Structure 1
Amino acid sequence: ESSIFLEAFRQIKLDSHNQTAFIHVTLIPYSRAVGQQKSKPTQHSVKMLQSVGLQPDIIIGRSETPLDKEIKRKISSYSNIPENAVISNPDLEIVYELPLLFEEQGLGDLICELIDLKAKLVSYSEVTNYSEWVKMVGMFKNAKETVRIAMPGKYFNISDSYISINVALEDAAAHHGYKTELKMINIDENTNIEDEIKDVDGILLTPGFGERAVEGMIKSAECAMEHKIPFLGICFGAQLFFAAFCRKYLGLKNANSTEIDKNTPYPVVDLLESQYQVNEKGGTMRLGAENIIIEEGTKLYEAYNQQVIIERFRHRYHIQERFITEEAKNKGFVVSSRDQSSKIINSIELNRKDHWMVGTQFHPEFKSRPYKPSPLYYNFIKECIKFKNSK
């Protein structure tokens, strides 16, 4: 199946020899039985590439520990490349340290030489400036204290199900001088939510689809309200936050999303108007970046400090305006942002001075960067730290 791609690579190299570099990333396993790194898989893969006319210029060895001098020499010898073109890519506690490690080994200079590129700083920013990146890595490495965040959800059988959320939390915490300890709560019918959250500093209610674990997730939002634990609900998590509020403060027993219960007496979350005629499910959601109009004086405005922002969406269902009654408003419920038409509610929150509770239909984690965390995640972590220190 890969043969057509390999042939395309060969022709590209032939047609533009001085503008093309082949970098082969390969696994270097460690044999505990003999106590050494093994180069055989790399030797085999390089010979296969050479057999179809491809010669790697650089080999990056992915390994648990840094490549030792002997393994570099062996790979160099069998792969027909200089020893300095064998680059180590070991496991790192802080993944952002990897560009610095590559720079120490001269990878940038090698690539520039291979493709005849005159390297220069084209613009000054946290991304392009080496010293700024060094400072950022130091910030992550020097974080000592820990903030503990509960993440009630249902996809934790796969470790990176919520990877963008995990990273956004880490980015925000590092900018406060903290590390994150994420408590993944895989909810089932036996989960005692009160016990699970009693030792956490914040709750992030995760996105998702389908009815499994929903009651436990709603209970998590109710517990956050009762114990005034900082809370952030993302997408589905925001919808269940609204269901929890309606049940707890408006007396709407069994309030739910029609995605979960089509016969709920209180459909507080329902399909977007544009989704009623949709029969094919693939690629038909409200998807991608949209303008968001923020209400001043809200927790969301405090985070972003501007009235119009752009964030990314992925949903079919949304919070129903008709359930946001005067009673709801009197009990502290706030719609903090809408779309440009004002028809779609993009975020909600509770207006309480002693409790930070926000839900967003959008996914702010998608725009988080290690050098510039999401403003909303930044403020969420700030409140979690404040809550931790108040105990």
Structure 2
Amino acid sequence: MARYVFITGGVVSSLGKGLASAALGALLQARGFSVRLCKLDPYLNVDPGTMSPYQHGEVFVTDDGAETILDLGHYERFTGRPARQADNITTGRIYQEIIAKERRGDFLGATVQVIPHVTDAIKAFVTTGNEDVDFVLCEIGGTVGDIEGLPFFEAIRQLGNELPRGDTAFIHLTLVPFIPSAGELKTKPTQHSVKELRSIGIQPDVLLCRADRPLPSDERRKIALFCNVRPEAVIQALDVQSIYDVPIAYHREGLDRELLAAFGITNAPEPDLRMWQEISETVAEPDGEVTVAIVGKYTGLKDAYKSLNEALVHGGIANKVKVNLEWIESQVFESENPAAYLEDVNGILVPGGFGERGAEARSTRLAMPAPADFPIFGICFGMQMAVVEVARDLAGIEGASSTEFGPTEEPVIGLMTEWMRGEELERREQNGDLGGTMRLGAYDAVLAKGSEVAKIYGARVSPSNHRHRYEVNMRYRNKLEAAGLRFSGLSPDGLLPEIVEIPEHPWFIGVQFHPELKSRPFAPHPLFKSFIGAAVEQSRLV
């Protein structure tokens, strides 16, 4: 039977609940336990798919086609366990399902209320499908005291009473700030946060205290005394050099030991952290470094490209180099010469995005400043802009554009209205809903024999996750291939382009999917490993 760990947060947001949950999952795995991680999000959106990246960072897409919060990316990267649609739920989705039931008459005339109907739905989400795991780690978004989060806190409070005694534990993440004018760490914010949590019936078993300096023993004892926990269960969570140091740091502080103690487990084997130690050492002591320019729309918020950022780090780990990222807002290239921004870079990556803003910079000027040996990587929208550039500059299709930007006589990129998902036909309409209507989830790509990507993957078929509404128009394939662009990866039915490359270029690859979503620190994605390898070679030519 699964045991349940609920991770809550207080004082302020963005303290790292998702990272803490992922690191704890990795530690439990290293001790031989199986885990599932899930996230409860209190906002009213059905999912984050229609949100601006500036609101909640990137949208992480699962294999089964769910648009989820970026924390699920941390879960996958740290545990290697693929996230599912059933691992992320929002208030909006819960209410959507409850209202649909009410309209059908499923409640048999009862008054539909937050308690018990909403809380029962939350509890069912948490406790369903856990037959194959030892621990379920459930992170609650937001902070204690948020009005929208109250149904979730009430639901996990109820679970603490309803599940067998000893099968639940609560971890609360708080901030212990240092006040320079006073010259000391302040424990009062943590005390008030725990008081708020206890006022709704939840007593934390472990406190994870974020601080920018070590917690003195007196402060730990004070926190333990006023928060009603054992002093050993007050765990300091200090800043580390790399997020991949977190499992090692948390184990050193005793987080996994104290959690297991809360369940009465005292004989668990010590965790095997050799893999994490190797990763940590590689990140801390690289053999060299390269610089990659990321030319995108949302560079003002790095979390908008969280998985991409980490996948580049993984590529660096695979090549034993540090990867420096030069974030460049694509709009600046529409009015300025891009060469000045790219003088010291060893590769260009153009990521996904939506809308016309900055598109011209990423199409007509994508490769112009790059010498022949400069590796260029286009992902999703970046691939489409690379195709538009090839169409305009090499194939002579002057009006080449995307219908995403409005009507065009040369729709090299167009709206995808129907495609096959397995044996089912998916259809979309021009003016239909935006949420959940893209080509989402894992699809196979059949790789052309002898192509660069086939060599990189070492296989003929590659699955990867998609999130897009527009496709390269196959009516232009012959013109584009005559201009030097190779369609080196197609959908199994041959109708949808998945990968393009320029064989005459040392490294020029565009992919319609998002390979960054499937990269792991201990298993870097082949494309990122190859891209950073090409950047290393370019750095040696300078």
Q: TM-score, normalised by structure 2?
A: 0.67
Structure 1 SS opposite 2:443: strand
Q: Distance in 1 between matches of 2:489 and 2:260?
A: 47
Q: Distance in 1 between matches of 2:367 and 2:257?
A: 56
Are positions 1:208 and 2:371 aligned together?
no
State whether residues 148 and 183 of structure 1, in contact with CA within 8 Å, keep that contact through their aligned partners in structure 2: yes
Indicate the residue corresponding to 1:148 in structure 2: 291
Indicate the residue corresponding to 2:239 in structure 1: 91
AA at the equivalent of 1:269: I
Q: Distance in 1 between matches of 2:351 and 2:222?
A: 47
Are positions 1:57 and 2:199 aligned together?
no
Q: 1:63-82 maps to which residues of 2 (within 5 A)?
A: 63-82=211-230
State whether residues 203 and 224 of structure 1, in contact with CA within 8 Å, keep that contact through their aligned partners in structure 2: no
Are positions 1:11 and 2:158 aligned together?
yes
- Which of 1 and 2 has higher RCO (CA within 8 Å, sep 6+)? 2
Indicate the residue corresponding to 2:336 in structure 1: 191
State whether residues 390 and 483 of structure 2, in contact with CA within 8 Å, keep that contact through their aligned partners in structure 1: no
Q: 1:191-340 maps to which residues of 2 (within 5 A)?
A: 191-223=336-368, 227-263=372-408, 265-274=409-418, 277-278=429-430, 279-325=432-478, 328-340=480-492
Q: Distance in 2 between matches of 1:81 and 1:307?
A: 55
Q: Distance in 1 between matches of 2:536 and 2:524?
A: 16
AA at the equivalent of 1:213: G
Are positions 1:106 and 2:254 aligned together?
yes
AA at the equivalent of 1:217: R
Structure 2 SS opposite 1:162: helix
Using a 3 Å threshold, how does the CA distance of structure 1 residues 298 and 115 change in structure 2: closer, same or farther? same
State whether residues 224 and 230 of structure 1, in contact with CA within 8 Å, keep that contact through their aligned partners in structure 2: no
Q: Distance in 1 between matches of 2:528 and 2:161?
A: 48
Q: Distance in 1 between matches of 2:480 and 2:319?
A: 34
Q: Distance in 2 between matches of 1:42 and 1:332?
A: 61
Q: Distance in 2 between matches of 1:390 and 1:243?
A: 29
Indicate the residue corresponding to 1:134 in structure 2: 277
Q: Distance in 2 between matches of 1:294 and 1:129?
A: 37
State whether residues 206 and 233 of structure 1, in contact with CA within 8 Å, keep that contact through their aligned partners in structure 2: yes
Indicate the residue corresponding to 1:380 in structure 2: 531
Using a 3 Å threshold, how does the CA distance of structure 1 residues 8 and 48 change in structure 2: closer, same or farther? same
AA at the equivalent of 1:283: G
Of 285, 303, 306, the match for 1:160: 303
State whether residues 224 and 231 of structure 1, in contact with CA within 8 Å, keep that contact through their aligned partners in structure 2: no
State whether residues 222 and 248 of structure 1, in contact with CA within 8 Å, keep that contact through their aligned partners in structure 2: no
Q: Distance in 2 between matches of 1:222 and 1:132?
A: 38
AA at the equivalent of 2:485: F
Structure 1 SS opposite 2:166: helix
Superposition deviation, residue 118 in structure 1: 6.3
Using a 3 Å threshold, how does the CA distance of structure 1 residues 349 and 90 change in structure 2: closer, same or farther? same
Superposition deviation, residue 6 in structure 1: 3.0
AA at the equivalent of 2:497: I
Indicate the residue corresponding to 1:125 in structure 2: none
Offset from partner CA, 1:234-282 (integer Å, 9 cap, x none): 000000000111111111113111112412x321111114166352222
Indicate the residue corresponding to 1:170 in structure 2: 313
Indicate the residue corresponding to 1:44 in structure 2: 192
Q: 1:328-367 maps to which residues of 2 (within 5 A)?
A: 328-352=480-504, 355-367=506-518
Comparing 252-261 with 365-374, which one deviates more in the overlay? 252-261
Using a 3 Å threshold, how does the CA distance of structure 1 residues 214 and 109 change in structure 2: closer, same or farther? same
* Structure 1 unmatched runs, 5+: 123-127
State whether residues 19 and 115 of structure 1, in contact with CA within 8 Å, keep that contact through their aligned partners in structure 2: yes
Q: TM-score, normalised by structure 1?
A: 0.92
Superposition deviation, residue 219 in structure 1: 3.3
Offset from partner CA, 1:74-114 (integer Å, 9 cap, x none): 21121121211111111212111111111112222221121
Structure 1 SS opposite 2:352: coil
The share of aligned pairs that are identical, in percent, is: 32
Q: CA RMSD in A?
A: 2.0
AA at the equivalent of 2:354: F
Q: Distance in 2 between matches of 1:262 and 1:184?
A: 31
AA at the equivalent of 1:106: G
Q: Distance in 2 between matches of 1:155 and 1:252?
A: 29
AA at the equivalent of 2:509: V
Q: Distance in 2 between matches of 1:221 and 1:294?
A: 25
Comparing 249-258 with 203-212, which one deviates more in the overlay? 249-258
State whether residues 178 and 184 of structure 2, in contact with CA within 8 Å, keep that contact through their aligned partners in structure 1: yes
Offset from partner CA, 1:293-327 (integer Å, 9 cap, x none): 111211211111111121000111111122122x5
Using a 3 Å threshold, how does the CA distance of structure 1 residues 66 and 133 change in structure 2: closer, same or farther? same
Using a 3 Å threshold, how does the CA distance of structure 1 residues 383 and 312 change in structure 2: closer, same or farther? same
Indicate the residue corresponding to 2:23 in structure 1: none
Q: Distance in 1 between matches of 2:428 and 2:466?
A: 18
State whether residues 19 and 114 of structure 1, in contact with CA within 8 Å, keep that contact through their aligned partners in structure 2: no
Of 151, 162, 177, the match for 1:29: 177
Q: Distance in 2 between matches of 1:180 and 1:70?
A: 41
Aligned length: 383
AA at the equivalent of 1:88: Q
AA at the equivalent of 2:358: A
